[in-house]
């Protein structure tokens, strides 16, 4: 199951429609990079790795849409597309990382617009295939941290739906399950958009992994009563010092785990680590529409008064002191993070 894939017959990008899950499994097709940017912004597709690859294919679509006949005009068109795609969701560093990789294809190949169109599509496809390999490598490292009989709390959705295929933190759980380890997953609902109860629970059912959905604010109870052995989640950006920016609610979960001596493991590709950002406070936090909070219905009735206001940050910052280790495709990175993150990235580049 690929969340993001190119339709070579119709020359369009296909995305699993994550708005429709779990009730319906369906794909949407996109032939315009502006539509792709809206799909990212409106969370038709979500998850840092999936967003990055989607943006790369968006750049390939922009190349197909450009009517430029010379390289200079073509580059202008591509820069406009890059800006719109970058701005779709500012917190996830994989998005800008993927866009920059695509612009790098143009700068390395001063050729005709036609040859660049083909090169950009090839580069986007390579990025997609690379994401699957990266996720599987992370899963093998992360599975070594999981023991048979473990109960794991998982926040948000980090499976195949958050990547091209396989997933990050949920990919670790999936790999451990395939290795024959008995695992029970406590799935945070992940309010306000409920990616845990809508998406992670659906994925766990596909894999045949035992789970139970819990409200976000129940995590502390399970941690305090020693019913949890590990906490796993992904990240939208990791700063150079190991601070983790992830879906809102991650900080409270990490705090409760740390207070109860339960290890906390973000699972992230190296592309999600931003060495140019020194700490989490320097990372922009996306503020989403209050409607995501206020439009919640129970038994067909709104849960908030008609004139209620809401604030809706999409992410929070988990300080590195609450993190036990960071799982990447280059291995498991332990503290001190500032030194060891840089070493892992430099070693991976050799």
Q: Annotated active-site positions, please?
A: 236
Q: Which two tokens stand for residue 227?
A: 């019913």
Q: In what order do the strands lie in the sheet with 315-318?
A: 273-274, 237-239, 244-247, 315-318
Q: What is the residue-wise DSSP string for 41-73?
A: HTTSS-SHHHHHHHHHHHHHHHHHH---SSHHH
- Nearest partner of 242 among 102, 99, 113, 342, judged by Cα: 342
If DSSP codes are grouped into helix, strand and coil, which group holds residue 207? helix
- From CA 160, how far away is CA 57, in angstroms rounded? 18
**Farthest-apart Cα atoms in the chain, separation:** 66
Q: What is the residue-wise DSSP string for 17-38?
A: -TTTTTT---EEEE-SHHHHHH
1, 171, 341 from 207: Cα distances, Å: 12, 11, 32
Please tell me the chain's helix, strand, coil percentages from 3-state DSSP, rounded to the nearest 5: 45, 15, 35
Q: Which two tokens stand for residue 338?
A: 């500032």
- From CA 258, how far away is CA 249, in angstroms rounded? 14
If DSSP codes are grouped into helix, strand and coil, which group holds residue 290? coil
Q: Which two tokens stand for residue 179?
A: 């290795």
């Amino acid at each position: 199951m690929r969340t993001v894939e190119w339709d070579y017959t119709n020359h369009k990008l296909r995305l699993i429609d994550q708005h429709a899950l779990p009730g319906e499994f369906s794909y949407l097709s996109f032939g315009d990079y502006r539509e792709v940017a809206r799909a990212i912004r409106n969370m038709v597709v979500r998850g840092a790795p999936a967003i990055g690859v989607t943006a790369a294919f968006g750049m390939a679509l922009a190349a197909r849409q450009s009517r430029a006949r010379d390289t200079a005009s073509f580059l202008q068109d591509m820069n406009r597309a890059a800006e719109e795609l970058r701005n779709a969701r500012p917190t996830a560093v994989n998005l800008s990382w993927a866009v920059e990789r695509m612009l790098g294809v143009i700068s390395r190949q001063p050729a005709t617009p036609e040859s660049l169109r083909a090169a950009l599509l090839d580069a986007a496809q390579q990025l997609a295939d690379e994401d699957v390999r990266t996720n599987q490598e992370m899963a093998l490292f992360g599975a070594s941290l999981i023991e048979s009989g473990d109960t794991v709390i998982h926040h948000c959705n980090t499976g195949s739906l958050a990547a091209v295929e396989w997933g990050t933190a949920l990919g670790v759980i999936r790999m451990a399950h395939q290795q024959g380890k008995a695992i029970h997953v406590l799935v945070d609902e992940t309010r306000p958009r409920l990616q845990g109860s809508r998406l992670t629970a659906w994925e766990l059912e596909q894999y045949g992994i035992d789970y139970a959905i819990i409200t976000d604010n129940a995590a502390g109870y399970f941690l305090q009563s020693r019913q949890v052995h590990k906490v796993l989640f992904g990240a939208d950006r990791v700063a150079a010092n190991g601070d983790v920016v992830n879906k809102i609610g991650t900080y409270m979960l990490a705090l409760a785990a740390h207070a109860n001596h339960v290890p906390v493991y973000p699972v992230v590709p190296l592309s999600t680590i931003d060495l140019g950002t020194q700490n989490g406070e320097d990372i922009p936090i996306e503020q989403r529409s209050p409607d995501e909070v206020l439009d919640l219905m129970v038994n067909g009735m709104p849960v908030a008064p008609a004139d209620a206001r809401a604030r809706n940050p999409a992410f929070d910052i988990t300080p590195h002191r609450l993190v036990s280790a960071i799982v990447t495709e280059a291995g498991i990175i332990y503290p001190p993070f500032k030194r060891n993150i840089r070493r892992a990235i430099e070693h991976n580049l050799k």
